[in-house]
Structure 1
Amino acid sequence: MSARKPIKKAVFPVAGLGTRFLPATKAIPKELLPIVDRPLIQYAVDEAREAGIEQIIFVTGRGKTAIVEHFDVAFELETTMAERGKDLSVLEPTRATPGDIITVRQQVPLGLGHAIWCARAIVGDDPFAILLPDELMVAAKGGGTGCMKQMVEAYEEVGGNLISVLEVPHDEVSSYGVIAPGAQLSETLTEVTGLVEKPPVDEAPSNKIISGRYILQPEVMGVLKDQGKGAGGEIQLTDAMAKMIGNQPFHAATFAGRRFDCGSKTGFVEATLALALEREDMGAEVRAMAERLLSE
Protein backbone atom coordinates (compact mmCIF):
# COMPACT_ATOMS: atom_id res chain seq x y z
CA MET A 1 0.00 0.00 0.00
CA SER A 2 1.43 3.41 -1.05
CA ALA A 3 1.97 6.10 1.54
CA ARG A 4 -0.76 8.71 1.85
CA LYS A 5 0.04 12.15 0.57
CA PRO A 6 0.38 14.57 3.48
CA ILE A 7 -2.02 17.50 3.88
CA LYS A 8 0.04 20.57 3.01
CA LYS A 9 -2.54 22.78 1.23
CA ALA A 10 -5.57 24.51 2.69
CA VAL A 11 -8.34 26.45 0.97
CA PHE A 12 -10.01 29.37 2.74
CA PRO A 13 -13.23 30.56 1.04
CA VAL A 14 -13.26 34.29 1.86
CA ALA A 15 -15.20 35.82 -1.02
CA GLY A 16 -18.48 36.35 0.88
CA LEU A 17 -19.98 39.82 1.17
CA GLY A 18 -20.57 39.69 4.93
CA THR A 19 -23.99 41.30 4.65
CA ARG A 20 -25.04 40.12 8.12
CA PHE A 21 -22.49 42.51 9.62
CA LEU A 22 -23.27 45.61 7.59
CA PRO A 23 -22.44 48.44 7.89
CA ALA A 24 -19.22 47.23 9.59
CA THR A 25 -18.31 45.15 6.52
CA LYS A 26 -18.98 47.84 3.92
CA ALA A 27 -15.24 48.57 3.66
CA ILE A 28 -13.70 45.87 5.89
CA PRO A 29 -13.84 42.16 5.01
CA LYS A 30 -15.80 40.25 7.65
CA GLU A 31 -12.83 37.89 8.00
CA LEU A 32 -10.82 40.80 9.42
CA LEU A 33 -13.31 41.62 12.15
CA PRO A 34 -11.47 40.98 15.43
CA ILE A 35 -12.26 38.52 18.17
CA VAL A 36 -10.62 40.55 20.95
CA ASP A 37 -7.43 41.55 19.09
CA ARG A 38 -7.01 38.90 16.36
CA PRO A 39 -9.09 38.86 13.18
CA LEU A 40 -11.14 35.78 12.40
CA ILE A 41 -8.93 34.81 9.48
CA GLN A 42 -5.87 34.83 11.73
CA TYR A 43 -7.40 32.22 14.02
CA ALA A 44 -8.11 29.96 11.01
CA VAL A 45 -4.64 30.40 9.48
CA ASP A 46 -2.97 29.73 12.83
CA GLU A 47 -5.06 26.57 13.17
CA ALA A 48 -3.91 25.42 9.72
CA ARG A 49 -0.26 26.14 10.47
CA GLU A 50 -0.48 24.15 13.70
CA ALA A 51 -1.66 21.20 11.60
CA GLY A 52 1.37 21.39 9.30
CA ILE A 53 -0.28 23.25 6.43
CA GLU A 54 2.32 25.01 4.30
CA GLN A 55 0.34 26.56 1.45
CA ILE A 56 -2.54 28.94 2.17
CA ILE A 57 -5.05 29.39 -0.67
CA PHE A 58 -7.47 32.30 -0.32
CA VAL A 59 -10.50 32.24 -2.62
CA THR A 60 -11.33 35.93 -2.64
CA GLY A 61 -13.70 38.39 -4.28
CA ARG A 62 -13.81 42.10 -4.92
CA GLY A 63 -12.87 44.22 -1.92
CA LYS A 64 -10.98 41.43 -0.16
CA THR A 65 -7.39 42.48 -0.85
CA ALA A 66 -7.01 43.62 2.77
CA ILE A 67 -6.99 39.96 3.83
CA VAL A 68 -3.78 39.37 1.88
CA GLU A 69 -2.33 42.66 3.14
CA HIS A 70 -2.86 41.44 6.71
CA PHE A 71 -0.32 38.65 6.10
CA ASP A 72 2.21 40.90 4.38
CA VAL A 73 5.18 42.65 6.00
CA ALA A 74 4.09 46.12 7.13
CA PHE A 75 7.47 47.82 6.69
CA GLU A 76 6.44 51.29 7.84
CA LEU A 77 4.59 49.98 10.91
CA GLU A 78 7.40 47.65 11.94
CA THR A 79 10.07 50.32 11.41
CA THR A 80 8.16 52.84 13.51
CA MET A 81 7.51 50.29 16.27
CA ALA A 82 11.17 49.27 16.32
CA GLU A 83 12.29 52.89 16.56
CA ARG A 84 9.99 53.35 19.54
CA GLY A 85 11.18 50.19 21.26
CA LYS A 86 7.87 48.37 20.81
CA ASP A 87 7.63 44.58 20.91
CA LEU A 88 7.29 43.23 17.34
CA SER A 89 6.47 39.65 18.38
CA VAL A 90 2.75 40.42 18.27
CA LEU A 91 3.08 40.74 14.47
CA GLU A 92 4.97 37.47 13.99
CA PRO A 93 1.87 35.34 13.17
CA THR A 94 0.82 37.86 10.51
CA ARG A 95 4.01 37.45 8.47
CA ALA A 96 3.71 34.84 5.74
CA THR A 97 6.75 33.17 4.24
CA PRO A 98 7.18 34.39 0.64
CA GLY A 99 5.20 32.17 -1.72
CA ASP A 100 3.10 30.52 0.99
CA ILE A 101 -0.06 32.52 0.24
CA ILE A 102 -1.85 32.22 -3.09
CA THR A 103 -5.09 33.94 -4.04
CA VAL A 104 -7.68 33.10 -6.67
CA ARG A 105 -10.86 35.01 -7.49
CA GLN A 106 -14.42 33.79 -7.31
CA GLN A 107 -15.91 36.37 -9.65
CA VAL A 108 -19.52 35.32 -9.12
CA PRO A 109 -20.97 34.15 -5.76
CA LEU A 110 -22.23 30.73 -6.83
CA GLY A 111 -21.83 28.92 -3.52
CA LEU A 112 -19.25 27.17 -1.37
CA GLY A 113 -18.78 24.32 -3.82
CA HIS A 114 -18.01 26.77 -6.61
CA ALA A 115 -15.55 28.66 -4.37
CA ILE A 116 -13.63 25.44 -3.69
CA TRP A 117 -13.65 24.56 -7.40
CA CYS A 118 -12.02 27.94 -8.15
CA ALA A 119 -8.88 26.63 -6.40
CA ARG A 120 -8.63 23.50 -8.56
CA ALA A 121 -5.45 24.52 -10.43
CA ILE A 122 -3.56 25.14 -7.19
CA VAL A 123 -4.86 22.03 -5.43
CA GLY A 124 -3.87 19.89 -8.40
CA ASP A 125 -3.60 16.20 -7.55
CA ASP A 126 -3.09 16.69 -3.83
CA PRO A 127 -5.49 16.10 -0.94
CA PHE A 128 -6.29 19.38 0.74
CA ALA A 129 -7.95 20.96 3.74
CA ILE A 130 -10.79 23.48 3.81
CA LEU A 131 -11.31 25.90 6.69
CA LEU A 132 -14.34 28.18 6.92
CA PRO A 133 -13.18 31.20 8.94
CA ASP A 134 -16.74 31.97 10.14
CA GLU A 135 -16.55 28.78 12.18
CA LEU A 136 -14.15 29.62 15.00
CA MET A 137 -12.85 26.34 16.40
CA VAL A 138 -11.07 26.67 19.73
CA ALA A 139 -9.13 23.96 21.53
CA ALA A 140 -10.62 22.60 24.73
CA LYS A 141 -10.07 24.60 27.90
CA GLY A 142 -6.89 23.68 29.68
CA GLY A 143 -4.96 22.91 26.51
CA GLY A 144 -5.21 20.54 23.60
CA THR A 145 -4.74 20.76 19.86
CA GLY A 146 -6.76 22.63 17.28
CA CYS A 147 -9.44 21.12 15.11
CA MET A 148 -7.41 20.76 11.90
CA LYS A 149 -4.49 19.14 13.71
CA GLN A 150 -6.90 16.60 15.19
CA MET A 151 -8.26 15.96 11.70
CA VAL A 152 -4.82 15.54 10.14
CA GLU A 153 -3.98 12.98 12.81
CA ALA A 154 -7.20 11.11 11.98
CA TYR A 155 -6.43 11.34 8.26
CA GLU A 156 -3.06 9.73 8.83
CA GLU A 157 -4.95 6.82 10.35
CA VAL A 158 -7.77 6.31 7.83
CA GLY A 159 -7.00 8.41 4.73
CA GLY A 160 -9.73 9.31 2.27
CA ASN A 161 -12.11 12.15 3.05
CA LEU A 162 -12.77 13.61 6.49
CA ILE A 163 -15.16 16.16 7.91
CA SER A 164 -15.19 17.69 11.35
CA VAL A 165 -18.38 17.17 13.36
CA LEU A 166 -19.76 18.25 16.71
CA GLU A 167 -22.60 16.79 18.73
CA VAL A 168 -25.52 19.13 19.43
CA PRO A 169 -28.82 18.63 21.26
CA HIS A 170 -31.10 16.59 18.99
CA ASP A 171 -33.72 19.32 18.83
CA GLU A 172 -31.18 21.64 17.13
CA VAL A 173 -30.20 19.42 14.20
CA SER A 174 -32.62 21.01 11.72
CA SER A 175 -30.35 24.08 11.60
CA TYR A 176 -27.31 22.18 10.32
CA GLY A 177 -25.92 19.63 7.90
CA VAL A 178 -25.92 16.25 9.64
CA ILE A 179 -24.09 12.98 8.96
CA ALA A 180 -25.64 9.56 8.63
CA PRO A 181 -23.23 7.46 10.71
CA GLY A 182 -21.89 4.03 9.93
CA ALA A 183 -19.35 2.07 11.92
CA GLN A 184 -17.86 3.72 15.02
CA LEU A 185 -14.11 3.24 14.62
CA SER A 186 -13.13 4.96 17.85
CA GLU A 187 -14.48 7.39 20.39
CA THR A 188 -13.96 10.27 17.96
CA LEU A 189 -13.90 8.65 14.50
CA THR A 190 -17.09 7.61 12.69
CA GLU A 191 -17.73 6.21 9.23
CA VAL A 192 -20.01 8.44 7.14
CA THR A 193 -22.68 6.76 5.02
CA GLY A 194 -24.60 9.88 4.05
CA LEU A 195 -25.03 13.62 4.50
CA VAL A 196 -28.36 15.32 5.14
CA GLU A 197 -28.81 19.09 4.97
CA LYS A 198 -31.05 20.57 7.70
CA PRO A 199 -33.23 17.51 8.31
CA PRO A 200 -36.47 17.65 10.31
CA VAL A 201 -35.74 16.70 13.91
CA ASP A 202 -37.69 13.44 13.70
CA GLU A 203 -35.88 12.40 10.51
CA ALA A 204 -32.30 13.30 11.45
CA PRO A 205 -29.96 10.28 11.21
CA SER A 206 -27.75 11.61 14.05
CA ASN A 207 -27.00 14.67 16.13
CA LYS A 208 -23.52 15.08 14.63
CA ILE A 209 -23.35 18.31 12.65
CA ILE A 210 -20.82 19.34 10.01
CA SER A 211 -18.70 22.09 11.50
CA GLY A 212 -16.69 23.88 8.85
CA ARG A 213 -13.49 21.84 8.57
CA TYR A 214 -12.78 19.33 5.80
CA ILE A 215 -10.00 17.18 4.36
CA LEU A 216 -10.89 16.12 0.83
CA GLN A 217 -9.31 14.17 -1.98
CA PRO A 218 -8.67 16.08 -5.25
CA GLU A 219 -11.32 14.02 -7.08
CA VAL A 220 -13.94 16.30 -5.54
CA MET A 221 -12.94 18.94 -8.08
CA GLY A 222 -14.11 16.70 -10.91
CA VAL A 223 -17.45 16.23 -9.18
CA LEU A 224 -17.83 19.98 -8.65
CA LYS A 225 -16.97 20.73 -12.28
CA ASP A 226 -20.14 19.08 -13.60
CA GLN A 227 -22.39 19.71 -10.61
CA GLY A 228 -25.53 21.76 -11.01
CA LYS A 229 -27.01 24.16 -8.52
CA GLY A 230 -28.52 22.80 -5.33
CA ALA A 231 -30.12 24.35 -2.28
CA GLY A 232 -30.44 28.13 -2.48
CA GLY A 233 -29.62 28.08 -6.17
CA GLU A 234 -25.93 27.58 -5.36
CA ILE A 235 -23.34 24.89 -6.08
CA GLN A 236 -23.14 23.09 -2.76
CA LEU A 237 -20.02 21.38 -1.43
CA THR A 238 -22.21 19.03 0.60
CA ASP A 239 -23.78 17.67 -2.60
CA ALA A 240 -20.36 16.93 -4.08
CA MET A 241 -19.15 15.20 -0.92
CA ALA A 242 -22.30 13.06 -0.83
CA LYS A 243 -21.48 11.76 -4.31
CA MET A 244 -18.04 10.65 -3.15
CA ILE A 245 -19.39 8.51 -0.32
CA GLY A 246 -19.11 4.88 -1.33
CA ASN A 247 -16.40 5.61 -3.91
CA GLN A 248 -13.73 6.68 -1.42
CA PRO A 249 -13.32 6.27 2.34
CA PHE A 250 -15.35 8.93 4.15
CA HIS A 251 -15.18 9.58 7.89
CA ALA A 252 -16.17 12.16 10.48
CA ALA A 253 -13.87 13.27 13.29
CA THR A 254 -15.62 14.61 16.38
CA PHE A 255 -13.78 17.73 17.50
CA ALA A 256 -12.63 17.78 21.11
CA GLY A 257 -13.02 21.51 21.59
CA ARG A 258 -15.43 24.41 21.18
CA ARG A 259 -17.14 25.96 18.18
CA PHE A 260 -18.38 29.52 17.83
CA ASP A 261 -20.61 30.45 14.91
CA CYS A 262 -19.09 33.81 14.05
CA GLY A 263 -21.27 34.09 10.97
CA SER A 264 -23.97 35.33 13.33
CA LYS A 265 -23.81 38.46 15.47
CA THR A 266 -24.66 36.63 18.67
CA GLY A 267 -22.05 33.96 17.98
CA PHE A 268 -19.49 36.65 17.28
CA VAL A 269 -20.22 38.37 20.58
CA GLU A 270 -20.15 35.03 22.41
CA ALA A 271 -16.73 34.20 20.97
CA THR A 272 -15.36 37.62 21.89
CA LEU A 273 -16.59 37.34 25.46
CA ALA A 274 -15.49 33.73 25.92
CA LEU A 275 -11.96 34.32 24.65
CA ALA A 276 -11.61 37.61 26.51
CA LEU A 277 -12.55 35.91 29.78
CA GLU A 278 -9.73 33.39 29.27
CA ARG A 279 -7.05 36.01 28.71
CA GLU A 280 -4.61 36.47 31.58
CA ASP A 281 -4.13 40.13 30.69
CA MET A 282 -7.81 41.05 30.78
CA GLY A 283 -9.97 38.14 31.96
CA ALA A 284 -10.58 39.39 35.50
CA GLU A 285 -11.42 42.89 34.30
CA VAL A 286 -13.81 41.59 31.63
CA ARG A 287 -15.54 39.30 34.13
CA ALA A 288 -16.07 42.20 36.54
CA MET A 289 -17.38 44.34 33.69
CA ALA A 290 -19.82 41.63 32.56
CA GLU A 291 -21.09 41.12 36.10
CA ARG A 292 -21.60 44.85 36.51
CA LEU A 293 -23.54 45.11 33.24
CA LEU A 294 -25.72 42.13 34.12
CA SER A 295 -26.59 43.61 37.48
CA GLU A 296 -27.78 46.92 36.03
Structure 2
Amino acid sequence: MLAFITSLRHPRNSKDYARVERLLLETLRSVTNQTSEEFVVIVVGNRAPSFPLPERVHFVKVDFRAPAPKTVRVSRSPFIRDKGTKIGVGLIAAREFSPDYVMIFDADDFVHRDLAAFTAQNPGQNGWVVKDGWMYSGARSALREQPNFNRTCGTCFVIPYEAYGVPDELDVHATREQVRVAYGERLSKIIGAHKHAAEWYAAHDRPLQPLPFRGAVYHVDNGENHSANVMTGRARPLNAELSAEFGIRRRHGRLLTLWACYASDPMRRVMTPFQPVVDNLKRVYRAVRQTVRRIT
Protein backbone atom coordinates (compact mmCIF):
# COMPACT_ATOMS: atom_id res chain seq x y z
CA MET A 1 0.00 0.00 0.00
CA LEU A 2 1.08 3.57 -0.75
CA ALA A 3 0.35 6.29 1.81
CA PHE A 4 0.09 9.82 0.42
CA ILE A 5 0.71 12.34 3.21
CA THR A 6 0.39 16.13 3.14
CA SER A 7 0.16 19.06 5.54
CA LEU A 8 -1.84 22.28 5.53
CA ARG A 9 -0.41 25.58 6.61
CA HIS A 10 -1.91 27.28 9.64
CA PRO A 11 -4.94 29.44 8.70
CA ARG A 12 -3.22 32.48 10.23
CA ASN A 13 -0.26 31.85 7.95
CA SER A 14 -2.29 32.22 4.77
CA LYS A 15 -3.53 35.34 3.03
CA ASP A 16 -6.59 33.45 1.73
CA TYR A 17 -7.45 30.18 3.47
CA ALA A 18 -10.47 29.60 1.26
CA ARG A 19 -8.03 29.45 -1.65
CA VAL A 20 -5.88 26.97 0.30
CA GLU A 21 -8.92 24.72 0.62
CA ARG A 22 -9.83 25.06 -3.06
CA LEU A 23 -6.31 24.06 -4.03
CA LEU A 24 -6.42 21.14 -1.60
CA LEU A 25 -9.67 19.89 -3.14
CA GLU A 26 -8.13 19.99 -6.62
CA THR A 27 -5.08 18.13 -5.34
CA LEU A 28 -7.14 15.47 -3.56
CA ARG A 29 -9.08 14.85 -6.77
CA SER A 30 -5.75 14.15 -8.42
CA VAL A 31 -4.31 11.97 -5.66
CA THR A 32 -7.46 9.84 -5.32
CA ASN A 33 -7.62 9.30 -9.08
CA GLN A 34 -5.36 6.25 -8.70
CA THR A 35 -5.81 3.23 -10.96
CA SER A 36 -5.14 0.93 -7.98
CA GLU A 37 -7.04 0.84 -4.70
CA GLU A 38 -3.83 0.15 -2.77
CA PHE A 39 -3.49 3.63 -1.29
CA VAL A 40 -4.55 5.88 1.57
CA VAL A 41 -4.35 9.68 1.90
CA ILE A 42 -3.63 11.53 5.14
CA VAL A 43 -4.02 15.30 5.52
CA VAL A 44 -2.67 17.01 8.66
CA GLY A 45 -3.66 20.52 9.66
CA ASN A 46 -4.99 22.90 12.27
CA ARG A 47 -8.47 23.13 10.77
CA ALA A 48 -10.52 20.40 9.12
CA PRO A 49 -11.41 21.15 5.48
CA SER A 50 -14.86 22.68 5.02
CA PHE A 51 -15.73 20.23 2.22
CA PRO A 52 -16.50 16.49 2.43
CA LEU A 53 -13.31 14.49 2.07
CA PRO A 54 -13.07 12.03 -0.83
CA GLU A 55 -13.03 8.31 -0.11
CA ARG A 56 -9.76 7.02 1.39
CA VAL A 57 -8.80 10.49 2.67
CA HIS A 58 -8.32 10.95 6.42
CA PHE A 59 -7.83 14.23 8.26
CA VAL A 60 -5.68 14.51 11.39
CA LYS A 61 -6.05 17.65 13.48
CA VAL A 62 -3.13 19.20 15.34
CA ASP A 63 -3.00 22.21 17.64
CA PHE A 64 0.44 23.47 16.66
CA ARG A 65 0.89 27.25 16.81
CA ALA A 66 1.24 29.27 13.63
CA PRO A 67 4.94 29.37 12.66
CA ALA A 68 5.02 32.96 11.39
CA PRO A 69 3.00 36.18 11.09
CA LYS A 70 0.05 36.24 8.71
CA THR A 71 1.77 36.45 5.32
CA VAL A 72 2.11 34.28 2.26
CA ARG A 73 5.93 34.36 2.58
CA VAL A 74 7.65 32.93 5.64
CA SER A 75 11.31 32.28 6.39
CA ARG A 76 12.45 28.78 5.58
CA SER A 77 13.20 27.44 9.08
CA PRO A 78 9.69 27.94 10.54
CA PHE A 79 8.21 26.49 7.33
CA ILE A 80 10.37 23.37 7.56
CA ARG A 81 9.53 22.96 11.25
CA ASP A 82 5.80 23.41 10.69
CA LYS A 83 5.64 21.12 7.66
CA GLY A 84 8.04 18.58 9.12
CA THR A 85 6.22 18.13 12.43
CA LYS A 86 2.83 17.90 10.73
CA ILE A 87 4.12 15.33 8.24
CA GLY A 88 5.69 13.53 11.20
CA VAL A 89 2.23 13.26 12.76
CA GLY A 90 0.88 12.09 9.41
CA LEU A 91 3.46 9.30 9.34
CA ILE A 92 2.32 8.25 12.81
CA ALA A 93 -1.30 8.25 11.63
CA ALA A 94 -0.34 6.13 8.62
CA ARG A 95 0.97 3.40 10.89
CA GLU A 96 -2.48 1.85 11.34
CA PHE A 97 -2.70 1.23 7.57
CA SER A 98 0.67 -0.60 7.41
CA PRO A 99 1.81 1.11 4.19
CA ASP A 100 4.76 -0.23 2.24
CA TYR A 101 5.66 3.16 0.77
CA VAL A 102 5.01 6.83 1.48
CA MET A 103 4.77 9.79 -0.87
CA ILE A 104 4.84 13.17 0.85
CA PHE A 105 3.08 15.69 -1.37
CA ASP A 106 2.39 19.41 -1.31
CA ALA A 107 -1.28 20.29 -0.91
CA ASP A 108 -1.45 22.19 -4.21
CA ASP A 109 0.37 19.76 -6.54
CA PHE A 110 -0.83 16.86 -8.70
CA VAL A 111 0.36 13.25 -8.96
CA HIS A 112 0.22 10.53 -11.60
CA ARG A 113 -2.69 8.10 -11.43
CA ASP A 114 -0.42 5.02 -11.72
CA LEU A 115 1.73 5.64 -8.63
CA ALA A 116 -0.17 3.28 -6.33
CA ALA A 117 -0.21 0.55 -8.99
CA PHE A 118 3.52 1.03 -9.65
CA THR A 119 4.49 0.66 -6.00
CA ALA A 120 2.23 -2.38 -5.58
CA GLN A 121 4.07 -4.02 -8.48
CA ASN A 122 7.52 -3.18 -7.07
CA PRO A 123 7.79 -4.29 -3.44
CA GLY A 124 10.99 -4.24 -1.41
CA GLN A 125 12.72 -1.37 -3.23
CA ASN A 126 14.86 1.42 -1.74
CA GLY A 127 12.51 4.03 -3.17
CA TRP A 128 12.26 6.42 -6.09
CA VAL A 129 12.84 10.08 -6.83
CA VAL A 130 10.98 12.09 -9.47
CA LYS A 131 13.86 13.50 -11.51
CA ASP A 132 11.67 14.67 -14.41
CA GLY A 133 8.18 16.04 -13.90
CA TRP A 134 5.95 18.87 -15.01
CA MET A 135 5.41 22.47 -14.00
CA TYR A 136 1.80 23.62 -14.30
CA SER A 137 0.32 27.09 -14.22
CA GLY A 138 -3.32 26.93 -13.19
CA ALA A 139 -3.67 30.59 -14.10
CA ARG A 140 -2.75 29.74 -17.69
CA SER A 141 -3.77 26.05 -17.95
CA ALA A 142 -0.22 25.60 -19.24
CA LEU A 143 2.40 22.90 -18.74
CA ARG A 144 6.14 22.74 -19.15
CA GLU A 145 8.58 19.88 -18.68
CA GLN A 146 10.50 20.34 -15.43
CA PRO A 147 13.97 18.76 -15.22
CA ASN A 148 15.68 18.42 -11.83
CA PHE A 149 12.18 18.15 -10.43
CA ASN A 150 13.29 17.10 -6.95
CA ARG A 151 15.28 20.32 -6.62
CA THR A 152 12.17 22.36 -7.37
CA CYS A 153 9.16 20.58 -5.90
CA GLY A 154 8.58 18.64 -2.68
CA THR A 155 6.17 16.16 -4.30
CA CYS A 156 9.07 14.07 -5.52
CA PHE A 157 9.87 11.02 -3.37
CA VAL A 158 8.33 7.59 -2.95
CA ILE A 159 10.05 6.03 0.06
CA PRO A 160 9.55 2.85 2.13
CA TYR A 161 7.60 3.60 5.29
CA GLU A 162 10.23 2.07 7.52
CA ALA A 163 12.88 4.50 6.22
CA TYR A 164 11.32 7.34 8.21
CA GLY A 165 11.88 5.63 11.55
CA VAL A 166 8.40 6.46 12.81
CA PRO A 167 8.60 6.49 16.64
CA ASP A 168 6.52 3.73 18.24
CA GLU A 169 6.14 5.69 21.47
CA LEU A 170 4.24 8.62 19.92
CA ASP A 171 0.64 8.92 18.77
CA VAL A 172 -1.14 11.63 16.78
CA HIS A 173 -1.69 13.69 19.95
CA ALA A 174 2.04 14.26 20.47
CA THR A 175 3.25 17.82 20.91
CA ARG A 176 5.32 19.56 18.25
CA GLU A 177 8.41 19.33 20.47
CA GLN A 178 7.92 15.61 21.07
CA VAL A 179 7.64 15.05 17.32
CA ARG A 180 10.71 17.17 16.61
CA VAL A 181 12.86 15.35 19.14
CA ALA A 182 11.67 11.87 18.14
CA TYR A 183 12.49 12.27 14.44
CA GLY A 184 15.76 14.13 15.02
CA GLU A 185 17.62 15.27 11.92
CA ARG A 186 15.23 13.40 9.63
CA LEU A 187 12.71 16.17 10.29
CA SER A 188 14.82 18.85 8.60
CA LYS A 189 16.61 16.61 6.09
CA ILE A 190 13.93 14.41 4.53
CA ILE A 191 10.51 15.12 6.09
CA GLY A 192 10.21 18.91 6.11
CA ALA A 193 12.58 19.57 3.19
CA HIS A 194 13.39 17.94 -0.14
CA LYS A 195 16.23 19.65 -2.06
CA HIS A 196 19.03 17.51 -0.66
CA ALA A 197 17.03 14.52 0.51
CA ALA A 198 18.31 12.24 -2.28
CA GLU A 199 21.89 12.82 -1.11
CA TRP A 200 20.86 12.17 2.50
CA TYR A 201 19.29 8.84 1.55
CA ALA A 202 22.39 7.84 -0.45
CA ALA A 203 24.64 8.71 2.49
CA HIS A 204 22.48 6.50 4.70
CA ASP A 205 22.78 3.44 2.43
CA ARG A 206 19.50 4.00 0.61
CA PRO A 207 20.29 5.11 -2.95
CA LEU A 208 17.11 5.93 -4.81
CA GLN A 209 16.12 5.04 -8.35
CA PRO A 210 14.69 7.62 -10.75
CA LEU A 211 10.95 7.08 -11.12
CA PRO A 212 10.58 5.70 -14.69
CA PHE A 213 7.80 8.15 -15.60
CA ARG A 214 6.88 11.77 -14.90
CA GLY A 215 5.15 11.14 -11.61
CA ALA A 216 4.19 14.59 -10.37
CA VAL A 217 3.19 18.12 -11.34
CA TYR A 218 4.46 21.24 -9.57
CA HIS A 219 1.60 23.75 -9.41
CA VAL A 220 2.64 27.42 -9.61
CA ASP A 221 0.86 30.75 -10.12
CA ASN A 222 -1.71 29.84 -7.48
CA GLY A 223 -1.08 32.53 -4.86
CA GLU A 224 -0.17 30.17 -2.02
CA ASN A 225 3.26 28.71 -2.88
CA HIS A 226 5.87 29.31 -0.21
CA SER A 227 8.37 29.80 -3.04
CA ALA A 228 6.02 32.16 -4.93
CA ASN A 229 7.24 30.71 -8.24
CA VAL A 230 5.54 31.68 -11.48
CA MET A 231 5.67 30.35 -15.02
CA THR A 232 6.90 32.81 -17.62
CA GLY A 233 7.41 32.39 -21.33
CA ARG A 234 5.57 30.12 -23.70
CA ALA A 235 4.29 26.70 -22.64
CA ARG A 236 2.14 23.83 -23.89
CA PRO A 237 -1.62 23.76 -23.26
CA LEU A 238 -3.01 21.18 -20.87
CA ASN A 239 -4.31 18.40 -23.11
CA ALA A 240 -6.79 15.59 -22.50
CA GLU A 241 -4.09 12.95 -22.00
CA LEU A 242 -2.23 14.81 -19.28
CA SER A 243 -5.48 15.97 -17.72
CA ALA A 244 -6.51 12.32 -17.35
CA GLU A 245 -3.11 11.15 -16.10
CA PHE A 246 -2.94 13.74 -13.34
CA GLY A 247 -6.59 14.53 -12.70
CA ILE A 248 -6.19 18.22 -13.58
CA ARG A 249 -9.25 20.16 -14.64
CA ARG A 250 -8.63 22.87 -17.21
CA ARG A 251 -9.80 26.24 -15.92
CA HIS A 252 -10.19 28.02 -19.24
CA GLY A 253 -11.71 27.40 -22.64
CA ARG A 254 -9.57 26.34 -25.58
CA LEU A 255 -9.05 29.80 -27.11
CA LEU A 256 -8.13 31.48 -23.82
CA THR A 257 -5.80 28.59 -22.98
CA LEU A 258 -4.01 28.91 -26.33
CA TRP A 259 -3.65 32.64 -25.79
CA ALA A 260 -2.26 32.12 -22.27
CA CYS A 261 0.22 29.52 -23.50
CA TYR A 262 1.57 31.07 -26.66
CA ALA A 263 1.21 34.84 -26.26
CA SER A 264 4.29 36.74 -25.20
CA ASP A 265 4.68 37.79 -21.55
CA PRO A 266 4.16 41.53 -22.36
CA MET A 267 0.94 40.76 -24.24
CA ARG A 268 -0.38 38.67 -21.35
CA ARG A 269 0.40 41.49 -18.91
CA VAL A 270 -1.62 43.87 -21.06
CA MET A 271 -4.59 41.49 -20.93
CA THR A 272 -4.33 40.61 -17.22
CA PRO A 273 -6.56 43.51 -16.00
CA PHE A 274 -9.34 42.20 -18.25
CA GLN A 275 -9.25 38.67 -16.83
CA PRO A 276 -11.90 39.34 -14.12
CA VAL A 277 -14.26 40.64 -16.83
CA VAL A 278 -13.69 37.50 -18.91
CA ASP A 279 -14.28 35.29 -15.87
CA ASN A 280 -17.54 37.10 -15.05
CA LEU A 281 -18.76 36.75 -18.63
CA LYS A 282 -17.99 33.03 -18.49
CA ARG A 283 -20.00 32.66 -15.27
CA VAL A 284 -22.94 34.55 -16.77
CA TYR A 285 -22.80 32.40 -19.90
CA ARG A 286 -22.81 29.18 -17.86
CA ALA A 287 -25.72 30.41 -15.72
CA VAL A 288 -27.76 31.34 -18.80
CA ARG A 289 -26.98 28.00 -20.44
CA GLN A 290 -28.09 26.09 -17.35
CA THR A 291 -31.32 28.13 -17.18
CA VAL A 292 -32.09 27.44 -20.83
CA ARG A 293 -31.51 23.73 -20.30
CA ARG A 294 -33.91 23.65 -17.36
CA ILE A 295 -36.60 25.48 -19.33
CA THR A 296 -36.28 23.29 -22.42
Query: What's the TM-score, normalizing by structure 2?
Result: 0.50
Q: Is the 8 A contact 1:220 1:244 kept in 2?
A: no
Q: 1:56 aligns with which of 5, 20, 41?
A: 41
Alignment of 1:1-296 (within 5 A): 6-7=1-2, 9-15=3-9, 25-32=14-21, 39-51=22-34, 52=37, 54-61=39-46, 64-65=47-48, 68-70=49-51, 72=52, 96-97=54-55, 100-105=57-62, 107-108=64-65, 109=67, 110-124=81-95, 125-127=98-100, 128-136=102-110, 146=112, 149-150=114-115, 152-153=117-118, 156-157=121-122, 159-160=124-125, 161-166=127-132, 178=151, 211-222=154-165, 225-228=182-185, 236=193, 244-245=201-202, 246-248=204-206, 250-253=208-211, 255-256=213-214, 259-262=217-220, 263=225, 264-265=227-228, 267=230, 274-275=237-238, 279=250, 282-287=253-258, 294=267
| Aligned CA distance change for structure 1 residues 257 and 238 (closer, same or farther; 3 Å) | closer
Deviations 1:34-74 (A, max 9, x none): xxxxx32233222322223643211113xx43xx222x1xx
- The secondary structure found in structure 2 opposite 1:219 is helix
Distance 1:60 1:287 in 2: 37
Q: Is the 8 A contact 1:57 1:102 kept in 2?
A: yes
| Aligned CA distance change for structure 1 residues 163 and 115 (closer, same or farther; 3 Å) | farther
Distance 1:212 1:157 in 2: 20
Q: Aligned AA for 1:28?
A: Y
Distance 2:15 2:251 in 1: 33
Identity of aligned residues (%): 10
Q: Is the 8 A contact 1:10 1:53 kept in 2?
A: no
Deviations 1:186-218 (A, max 9, x none): xxxxxxxxxxxxxxxxxxxxxxx6651332222
Structure 1 residue 257 displacement after superposition: 7.0
Give unpaired runs (5+ residues) of structure 1.
1-5, 20-24, 33-38, 73-94, 138-145, 179-208
| Aligned CA distance change for structure 1 residues 10 and 286 (closer, same or farther; 3 Å) | closer
Structure 1 residue 134 displacement after superposition: 3.6
Aligned length: 207
Q: Aligned AA for 1:213?
A: C
- The secondary structure found in structure 1 opposite 2:54 is coil
Q: Which has the higher strand share?
A: 1
| Aligned CA distance change for structure 1 residues 154 and 251 (closer, same or farther; 3 Å) | farther
| Aligned CA distance change for structure 1 residues 49 and 176 (closer, same or farther; 3 Å) | closer
Structure 1 residue 243 displacement after superposition: 5.1
Query: What's the TM-score, normalizing by structure 1?
Result: 0.50
